[in-house]
Amino acid sequence: MVWVVIPMVLFLVLRLGGNFGASERPSEPALAPQPPIPTLYFRSPLGIPLLLAGNFAEMRTGHFHSGIDIKTNNRPGYRVYAAADGWVSRIKVSPTGYGQALYVDHPNGYTTVYAHLSRFKEDLAAYVKKKQYAEHSFALDMSVSKGMFPLKKGEVIAFSGNTGSSSGPHLHFEIRDTASEEPMNPLLFGIPVTDHERPRIYRVKVYAANRESGATIVHSDGSRPIRATFDAPVVIGVVKGKSGYRLKNVKAIRALG
């Protein structure tokens, strides 16, 4: 992908010298060790090489992107496969958001999500239609009991599309921890994404580490220095030279506090 890592966030750590006192920072509770992520369990949800239009945890308006957006050659209708054995646990139909979406629970404690689908496989589609008529509603969000739609890994469950809040045909794919519903980075699970392009940095954001500290950006062109604070970061352009990246028009960054 050409445009990943925009913007890259640079946190300035402004705690210097005597400020490192342990008493200042309450000790954080130890995190429970995380179970290893299974890297051979899930297959690709599509049968075409995976090219991404969107990454996990990208910044979106008001939230982080909770999955990956897989390109589908600018058209709908690609077969979408169950990433592993499991069962349909939730079906969502909405004119906005995920459009037509399927949630599949897997016995290993993860849930896969497939969104913006053009249509569901036949038995699911018939079930959805029946529910829509029964409830007099196009929009649905329903839990499905475990025994209703069991799935085998690689089974066609739906077709890719452009439904809901989608600006072009693609498959939005997520892997969540079933119990907490926390989305995880699908690429950590060994989903084979084709990407031969190195990330490029276009700009960085400078924040102060806390409300008491700050940073002053001193420009090399003589223009007025700008103060970066905890709430108001300063965006600095980055240029790529022969020896690597350098900040555009910046003479110095002075840390305060």
Chain residue at closest Cβ approach to Zn ion: 172
Cβ proximity of 14 and 257 under 8 Å = yes
Nearest-angstrom CA–CA distance, 77 and 159: 5
In angstroms, what is the minimal distance from the CB of 158 to Zn ion? 16
Q: Binding segment for Zn ion among 33-41, 61-69, 102-110, 201-209 (CB under 5 A)? A: 61-69
Report d(CA 191, CA 2) in Å as an integer.
20
Q: Considering the rule CB under 5 A, would residue 69 count as an interface residue with Zn ion?
A: yes
115, 99 contact by CB (below 8 A): yes
- Interface residue with Zn ion, options 71, 92, 106, 172 (CB under 5 A): 172
Cα(246)–Cα(239) distance, integer angstroms: 6
For residue 49, the minimal CB distance to Zn ion (Å) is 18
- Cβ closer to Zn ion: 57 or 218? 57
d(CA 173, CA 122): 21
Least CB distance to Zn ion at residue 68 (A): 7
Binding mask 1-30 for Zn ion (x = CB under 5 A): ------------------------------
User: What gap in Å lies between CA 118 and CA 79, rounded to an integer?
Assistant: 10
Question: Residues 104-123 vs Zn ion: string with x where CB under 5 A?
Answer: --------------------
CA 22 and chain centroid, separation: 35
| Residues in touch with Zn ion (CB under 5 A) | 69, 172
